[in-house]
Structure 1
Amino acid sequence: MRERYKNISGIILRRTTTPSGDMIVSLLTPRGKFKGVSRKAAPSPSTLKLNLFQHVTVQMYNRQQEDLGLLTQVKLEGALSQLVKPEVYPLASFLCELVDHVVEGEMDIPQTYDLLAGALRGLNSHPDPEWVSLVMGFKLLGSLGMAHRTEDADGPFFDADRGVITRKTGGLRLSPDSAAFMTSVHQRSVRDLMEHPLTDRKDIWMALEKFIVIHAGVLKSFDVLRSVQ
């Protein structure tokens, strides 16, 4: 028999308010994505804890014949205060929207969860949050089985349709540094990548956006992201 109450600990990816005032929240956990509803999103101790990017533990009541569980209790486990800064918020929104867009329901994704948690901590403290977001965008895709491939190690083009670095013309032409980054990003550690940031990143952002749009779909955060690149 399905348990009526369960505790779920995770990161808030998305929150929306319905016309009736209810708040619908998406949580990322190591076991996938869960959605719940908090009734009447008026200021209260519980709803004030349901902010984007926060790590919370919620008690969810599974109602019969209802798709969404009812959030009955919310405990704040951790908040990252710097993520609300105008230059950081769009970057955090991009990573969370990407994960929310790709992850569907319950699935075993502890690596994705750890990567997102680490990315948000990095955005909160690193002096170069844009580089954090760019690196972790690729790493998150890789953890979800969506890593691009290298067809030619010395190829200067990125074919977003096929998701490959190649010598064949027709794709996005990358600078030598960007091509080297794209060729190695999924083999190198996050620490190594963070220690060797690139100054000119525009073509990498273009490649990442094209790849995501083709293989995952359009993200609303892309428009805002361009303001901080």
Structure 2
Amino acid sequence: MIEIVDIHKSFGDNEVLKGISATFEPGKISLIIGGSGSGKSTLLKCMVGLHKPNAGRVLYNDVEFTRLSFEERIPIRKEIGMLFQNSALFDSMTVEQNIMFSLDMFTEMSRGEKVDRANFCLERVNLKGTNDLYPAELSGGMKKRVGIARAISMTPKYLFCDEPNSGLDPQTSILIDELIQDLTEEFNTTTIVVTHDMNSVMGIGDYILFLYKGHKEWEGSNKEIAHTEVEELNKFVFASPFMKVAKKSF
């Protein structure tokens, strides 16, 4: 479980996060949604330690991450898997080498054990046999799946995904969502996804946190989101062509 308590973050005079609190539970997919500039990615970066909040607390299973030193954070960092928006694969490394990167850094596994783990992760994301390919040889959807394979290589307790469907066609986006959902259930991870994709919201949103101008404007499930009376959330939700059509059935 991850808990954030009264998170504030400013860059100079620009206050991006204004007292955000939420709880993210294991075995569930939590989505952080909101318009551009609402603070979604900044909040995610505060949670994984890429940004330091000006105030507030981030707790991993009751351990206050924000107060730990760099060295003290390492055990928790080893339990975090991260899928970046652009997949962030190393172009000069093969698929196998990309997946083994964290294993090389943080484990004492033998070469054979690392290869076995890479093969397991590739099979889990339906990319068996792509070990020796380079990122330039992969489609956008394949790169995202390799990114997921790398993110789960350490069997993380916590999985963070930043815009996993960005730049993908609708069919591939659905496959990525289903994969994230399957992995969350299989490994009982606390999964947090930053997205603006309403198909993802309605498909896999166990818990949804809506940010507006740095504030927590609403929280709930995908079963509740279509019936909210929060004006700004309604504008965001029903701006999607998919949701405009779906609204007629609500």
**TM-score normalised according to structure 1 size:** 0.28
Higher helix content, 1 or 2: 2
More RCO (CA 8 Å, sep 6+): 2
**TM-score normalised according to structure 2 size:** 0.27
